[in-house]
Structure 1
Amino acid sequence: MKILFIVPSYKPAYVYGGPIESVAKLCEGIVKAGHEVEVYTTAANGKTELDVTLGKKIGVDGVKVTYFKRITKDHTHISPALWQHLARTVKQYDIVHIQSWWSPLVIVAAYICYHKNVKLIVSPRGMLSNYIINSGKSKAKKIIHKVAGKFILSKAIFHATSDAEYKECIDLIPGWKGFMLPNILSLPPVPVNEYKNDVFTLIFMSRIHPKKGLEILFDAISQLKDPVKLKIAGSGEESYIDELKSLAKRLNISSKVEWLGWKSREEKFIELIHADLFTLISFNENFANVVIESLHVGTPVLVSENVALSDFVKAKDMGWVTTLDVNNVVAQLSNAINNKAKRLQIRQTGNLIIENNFAAEKLIADYINEYAICLSKN
């Protein structure tokens, strides 16, 4: 098979978090399995651009990647150069797999694929949910969805990374055909040792955004009877981070919060290993790679029931699940702090459980099978 991936950004643009890594691992795995993969993307790297040659194929860890110039420096990633090249070349590919949604870059690309009658798969990556459509700039999203998005998506096959995301997609477009397979992650071999902190240490490691529920976590920490430290690793809008720092001050927990900033791949695993508990009290999360990464190094997790992997955490008893109610968060934090035996068991067994459920080789074969099914359909 010859497969084209279209994604707003690609590695080494790690500033965009987990999707950069999981998309790259999927592409690299399919190439190793003997298929041809190309990626069309932009040079986006946050507010800056990657130092790459534009408009020419570059080998990136075995994958042929073409980076195109974008004329906007924000999340729209508008790239006429990519669209023009796609229109000229898209018929060369058996399947086009688009990652993300709402960005004009991918919406126009999806329309081009539909117009050219090419087999199309769309991975919304959490961008198609009632939470996303009804929060933030929801009016614009609702118009886009009604005028063009819903029709274009209905002509494609969707890929969800969790059962929860699969259900959300079906709810938004009844009758939509799709499949569910989890993200593919690169999980390095790490020593799993119990690390003793002077104070019980929580870690949040993700994009710093209002949907991540940090306000709820701050409120819960302010009500805890047990002493804790919260490390926050990630980047976000400076104005929002300033709001969170002001909130911490008002709640009198500033001394308990340590702002680590963005961490590299190597650094993030070190921080996860050294934490007692990973926390993600999110309003909406279609997968959350870092939950898997945390359990891989043996660090238990506390996640909200709105995190798609919360069902996995429950089923495997890999941590604690909470509602978005502050009192429930306080209760579950207290449970995690005081249940040392369970935390030790997770430290000892987490790595094996993750390996058994998220082995890259098996998942790559499953993805290739789904592509074959897509090609077989009229």
Structure 2
Amino acid sequence: MKILFIAPSYKPAYIYGGPIVVIARLAERLVQLGHEVTVYTTTANGNKELDVPLKEPVMIDGVTVRYFKRITGDHTHISPSLYAYTWSTAKQYDVVHIHSWWNFAVLGAALIFMLRGVKPVLSPHGMFCDYVLNANNRAKKKLIHAVIGKQLLKKTYLHVSSQIEWNECLDINKNWKGANIFNLVDLPSGEYKRDERPVFTISFLSRIDPKKGLDILIRALSGVSFPYRLQIAGSGNEEYVQQLKKMVSDLGMEEHVEWVGWMNTEQKFPFLAGSDLFALTSLNENFAIVVIESLYVGTPVLISNNVGLCNYVEENGFGWITGIESVTEIRQKLTEAYHNKKERNEITSRARRIIDRDFNEAKLAGDYVKLYESTNAI
């Protein structure tokens, strides 16, 4: 099968976080299954541009990638050259898979496919959750949706990675047809040593952003009665990071909190394995790869009910689910996790086996192929 991915950004633009990894991992695994995958994307790399060839395709881990110059250095990702090339080649592929929404690289391509009579699969990657819809540029999003977005979405098949995201998307387009398939997660083959820690250690690993609810977690921990250490891995806007550090200082928590900075792939798995509990009290997450990464190394999780994987965690008994409206509730869940060492050890003993089964990349990629093959019949 000849498969085309449309994405506003692609690796090595890791500044955009998880979606870059997810999109690339799927493309690479589809190639390994014998399919031909091409990616059309822009040179977007935050406020800068990737230093990549523009006139010739680039082969990256088996995937053919065509980078197109964007004329805006912001999240709109406007790229006339991408539009022109998409128009001329739209009919050359068996399947088109669009990733993301609310940027003009993707919206423009979606319009072209509608005009050319091509009905793509769309993975919004959380772009239709209430948090995103009501965040920056709310009025512009409503206008775009009313003028053209609603019509474009009717001409797509839907792919989501969690039940929460599926429900959010049906609020946008109640007649959508598609599938709920987990994201592929790049999991290493090695074992990770889990030594006994002198104090109950809680890890946080993510972008440090208001969306991640780290401030809520800090406030909840400030009132617990048990000894703990919170290790925060990640980077973010320096002004916001300083606000959080001031909060830690004002709450008298400095001796309990360690800021360990951003971690690469090789560093993050030992880091997660070195904690008793991973915590993510996000305001919204359509999936959250780090939850699977944590469980893979045997670390139980405490996550908010706004995290897409909360149903999966609850069904498998992998940790604790909390609301985020009440700091008291989060504090109670943290206390339960601390005292229930037997349950934590039980999760550690079985989590990896289940993750290996449910997140087998060949199996998941095969599910995507089934979705692609069924699109003409949906």
Could you tell me the TM-score, scaled by structure 2's length?
0.95
Letter of the 1:200 partner, please give it: F
Work out whether 1:336 is the aligned partner of 2:337: yes
Q: Which moved more, 1:184-193 or 1:302-311?
A: 184-193
Aligned ranges 1:95-110 → 2 under 5 Å = 95-110=95-110
Matched residues, percent identical? 48
Confirm or deny: 8 A CA contact 2:294 2:300 kept in the other structure: yes
Aligned ranges 1:320-331 → 2 under 5 Å = 320-324=320-324, 325-331=326-332
CA shift for structure 1 position 249: 2.2
Q: Which runs of 4+ in 1 moved over 6 A?
A: none
Q: Which residue of 2 aligns with 1:345?
A: 346
Q: Which moved more, 1:257-266 or 1:336-345?
A: 257-266
Q: Which residue of 2 aligns with 1:260?
A: 260
CA shift for structure 1 position 187: 0.6
Q: What is the alpha-carbon distance in structure 1 between the residues aligned to residue 23 and residue 176 of structure 2?
A: 23
Q: Which residue of 2 aligns with 1:119?
A: 119
Confirm or deny: 8 A CA contact 2:298 2:349 kept in the other structure: yes
Confirm or deny: 8 A CA contact 1:192 1:347 kept in the other structure: no
Q: Which residue of 1 aligns with 2:66?
A: 66
Q: What is the alpha-carbon distance in structure 2 between the residues aligned to residue 146 and residue 276 of structure 1?
A: 47
Q: 1:375 is paired with a residue of what secondary structure?
A: coil
Q: What is the alpha-carbon distance in structure 2 between the residues aligned to residue 210 and residue 253 of structure 1?
A: 20
Work out whether 1:371 is the aligned partner of 2:372: yes
Q: 1:278 is paired with a residue of what secondary structure?
A: strand
Letter of the 1:159 partner, please give it: H
Q: What is the alpha-carbon distance in structure 2 between the residues aligned to residue 159 and residue 19 of structure 1?
A: 14
Q: What is the alpha-carbon distance in structure 1 between the residues aligned to residue 137 and residue 277 of structure 2?
A: 33
- Structure 2, unmatched stretches of 5+, are none
- Structure 1, unmatched stretches of 5+, are none
Distance 1:256 1:76, change over 3 A: farther
Confirm or deny: 8 A CA contact 2:192 2:270 kept in the other structure: no
Q: What is the alpha-carbon distance in structure 1 between the residues aligned to residue 138 and residue 125 of structure 2?
A: 17
CA shift for structure 1 position 264: 0.9
Q: 2:39 is paired with a residue of what secondary structure?
A: strand
Q: 2:59 is paired with a residue of what secondary structure?
A: strand
What is the total number of aligned residue pairs between the two structures?
A: 377
CA shift for structure 1 position 50: 2.7
CA shift for structure 1 position 137: 3.0
Q: 1:218 is paired with a residue of what secondary structure?
A: helix
Letter of the 2:122 partner, please give it: V
Q: Which residue of 2 aligns with 1:152?
A: 152
Confirm or deny: 8 A CA contact 1:95 1:375 kept in the other structure: no
Q: Which moved more, 1:366-375 or 1:251-260?
A: 251-260
Q: 2:375 is paired with a residue of what secondary structure?
A: helix
CA RMSD of aligned residues (A): 1.5
Confirm or deny: 8 A CA contact 1:99 1:124 kept in the other structure: yes
Distance 1:8 1:366, change over 3 A: same
Q: Which residue of 2 aligns with 1:42?
A: 42
Letter of the 1:256 partner, please give it: H
CA shift for structure 1 position 23: 1.1
Q: 2:370 is paired with a residue of what secondary structure?
A: helix
Letter of the 1:371 partner, please give it: Y
Q: Which residue of 1 aligns with 2:242?
A: 242
CA shift for structure 1 position 61: 0.6
Distance 1:88 1:322, change over 3 A: same
Q: What is the alpha-carbon distance in structure 1 between the residues aligned to residue 262 and residue 241 of structure 2?
A: 13
Distance 1:373 1:274, change over 3 A: same
Residues 139-190 of structure 1, C-alpha deviation per residue, up to 9 Å, x if partnerless? 2222222222122111111111111111111112111222110101111013
Q: What is the alpha-carbon distance in structure 1 between the residues aligned to residue 200 and residue 331 of structure 2?
A: 14
Residues 63-104 of structure 1, C-alpha deviation per residue, up to 9 Å, x if partnerless? 101112222333222222212211121121122111111112
Q: What is the alpha-carbon distance in structure 1 between the residues aligned to residue 198 and residue 47 of structure 2?
A: 38
Q: What is the alpha-carbon distance in structure 1 between the residues aligned to residue 57 and residue 107 of structure 2?
A: 23
Q: Which residue of 2 aligns with 1:14?
A: 14
Letter of the 1:180 partner, please give it: N
CA shift for structure 1 position 281: 0.4
